[in-house]
Structure 1
């Protein structure tokens, strides 16, 4: 056993928040508490918990998780659960490193040796989509995810539906699969039409076809289409997930390990999904620590389907991606649509602490650019 000696956090480009926990013997672990556009709020929550948890036993991960949840009274939500995720992931990394094993060995052991993965592509024109999809194919990916549409209001032109179908067909013609992300931007009148238009072209899934606030709308849409419905990045605990499972409106659950309370809670969510015959496909357009944490859970889940990862061309040229802040970036090599399990102790990645400390000195918090509609109205980002 060893008591927590320090908890530190580091604000980093492009929009990440890393957490380091060190015990009195010098053992340490890394976590990620990234919450895009809300960095300062998460940091405030971490400040409060740093005062509280220094001196706690670092190996008592579940005790600290339950202390965070049950003694807070006001709990849940993206800020609280992202801060908790940073601490939880770091504690798992610390404990597994002390024992000299990957985290998945402490979660019951692996059920697979490699993981199917996909990456994001942008572009609103078929030519742009083709260029980016080919770049992903060159990286080793067989599957991608892309925008369903730049924007769809309550009642937009049917040509927008046609453009989305053409982008999907472009990817399929390259011999690749594609998930279509609606981003919760599409309102129900258009979402019904778009799902029907996409159906003959067999997308992997449609993601957030409506905002997660509209459970009944998602349920109604799920009964109108055979396309698998995916969602979950804006569900922050097993209690948030439960009504979607009970309503039978989700086929693929996409929890984000940095938004849903960390490894501990994502493992519990995965088990709930299995009971409802729902696949696990963790959301992760974030940093290497978050992805490594996802991999540890994915390795142990029989209902795992596919893992999102942000490699290389996800961000603007010259900015940070998965290979940043790491001494062993080769672990993210994609081959035939898969990555190998991480074999090192803990998370299985080696964080470049010197680089983390240097780049965190003057990093400003990332702010969402928002999304303005053609009439000047604010729409979903």
Structure 2
């Protein structure tokens, strides 16, 4: 909760929109960047989203960083909310309209390398109606690993598969922790459990490593939550390095850029499954984006924090009881935040620090 970062953009006519630029561990940095961009675009026409977007991006000399892209995301998202309210239409209608009737969800059941605990978490998700989950079964691994590491991860996957049954779906997230060699052996060790995909099998900044694993894997490769523009995704598409891309509406230059990336992915026959682990405004934006993309597959849902958002948000992404979500029909994004409630929430920025250590005490990748 402490890492959520929201932006409110208001027009001179009194219409406002909400956006989200949550970047875990960097909320204060993104907030500062939003304020700086606000000075840049103050007085522009809020309905000219493309023009505002281009000015925010092209008039920022350093374009590739996640702080800037998250700040642009928040403002861009708020502008789409404003435009939807202005025209009395949900955002997905402004993107061309919905191509589906509902959105498939998977429950993110978290980081865990204990098969028994994963059984419990999977069972709990199934009791809520989900038939798809994602989990992170790897500890901080070394550059080379022995057989016990592969057996341990396989045991986690076998436990989840056993709970889900043969028709249930699960996704694995390696969190970019593996060397190419370890990733290839890990995929071979869990292949018999039939995951839907393996996410970030290697460090996302090492595109060459991704090529090596793509050549060896039989399980689909997913990546993209730490890429923040179509320019970064271009190499992934052109070199056929992923089967699924997962841009994040809060970090990837907003709804405008996300919709373009989805279209690029469709051109290359790549599936689209937005990364969606943060707050309720991002979740609403992700629902609209999922509705409007032909190649969308499934949307991440942090069901464990969903109820907490009702303290300050008018709506929160809901599993309707069968593992699916309804597509929003209200104008704009269809969400309002209670500013007084937000102001009363204690700040815990900096309390949570993502760290990971290997069994010998050396630092691992988070």
Give me the TM-score of the superposition, normalised by structure 1. Answer: 0.91
1:332 is paired with a residue whose SS is coil
What number of residue pairs does the alignment pair up? Answer: 362
- 1:27 to partner: Cα distance: 0.7
Summarize the Cα distance change of 1:253–1:366 in structure 2 as closer, same or farther, 3 Å threshold.
farther
- 1:162 is matched with 151
Deviations 1:10-45 (A, max 9, x none): xxx331001111111111110001011112221221
Q: Distance in 2 between matches of 1:202 and 1:333?
A: 24
Corresponding residue to 2:349 among 361, 364, 368: 364
Summarize the Cα distance change of 1:313–1:96 in structure 2 as closer, same or farther, 3 Å threshold.
closer
Q: Distance in 1 between matches of 2:350 and 2:8?
A: 19
- 1:95 is matched with 83
1:207-246 paired onto structure 2 within 5 Å: 207-246=199-238
Tell me, yes or no, if the aligned pair for 2:41 and 2:55 is still in contact at 8 Å: no
Corresponding residue to 1:328 among 315, 320, 325: 315
Q: Distance in 2 between matches of 1:218 and 1:369?
A: 24
Tell me, yes or no, if the aligned pair for 1:253 and 1:273 is still in contact at 8 Å: yes
- 2:162 is matched with 173
- 2:324 is matched with 338
2:7 is paired with a residue whose SS is strand
Summarize the Cα distance change of 1:366–1:267 in structure 2 as closer, same or farther, 3 Å threshold.
farther
- 1:262 to partner: Cα distance: 0.5
Corresponding residue to 2:253 among 257, 261, 268: 261
Deviations 1:300-347 (A, max 9, x none): 111001001111268xxxxx7454422234x51333221111111111
- 2:51 is matched with 63
Q: Distance in 1 between matches of 2:31 and 2:336?
A: 23
The answer to whether the aligner puts 1:352 opposite 2:346 as a matched pair is no
> 74-83 or 332-341: which moved more?
332-341
Tell me, yes or no, if the aligned pair for 1:140 and 1:336 is still in contact at 8 Å: yes
Q: Distance in 2 between matches of 1:164 and 1:313?
A: 26
- 1:148 to partner: Cα distance: 3.2
- 1:149 to partner: Cα distance: 0.9
1:100-179 paired onto structure 2 within 5 Å: 100-122=88-110, 123-174=112-163, 175=165, 176-179=168-171
> Which sections of structure 1, spanning at least 5 residues, go unmatched?
1-12, 315-319
Summarize the Cα distance change of 1:113–1:353 in structure 2 as closer, same or farther, 3 Å threshold.
farther
1:195-206 paired onto structure 2 within 5 Å: 195-206=187-198
> Which sections of structure 2, spanning at least 5 residues, go unmatched?
none
2:5 is paired with a residue whose SS is strand
Q: Distance in 2 between matches of 1:22 and 1:71?
A: 22
Q: Distance in 2 between matches of 1:85 and 1:48?
A: 14
Q: Distance in 2 between matches of 1:24 and 1:62?
A: 19
1:117 is paired with a residue whose SS is strand
- 2:303 is matched with 311
Tell me, yes or no, if the aligned pair for 1:310 and 1:322 is still in contact at 8 Å: no
> 18-27 or 369-378: which moved more?
369-378
Corresponding residue to 2:21 among 33, 41, 51: 33
Tell me, yes or no, if the aligned pair for 1:171 and 1:177 is still in contact at 8 Å: no
- 1:10 is matched with none
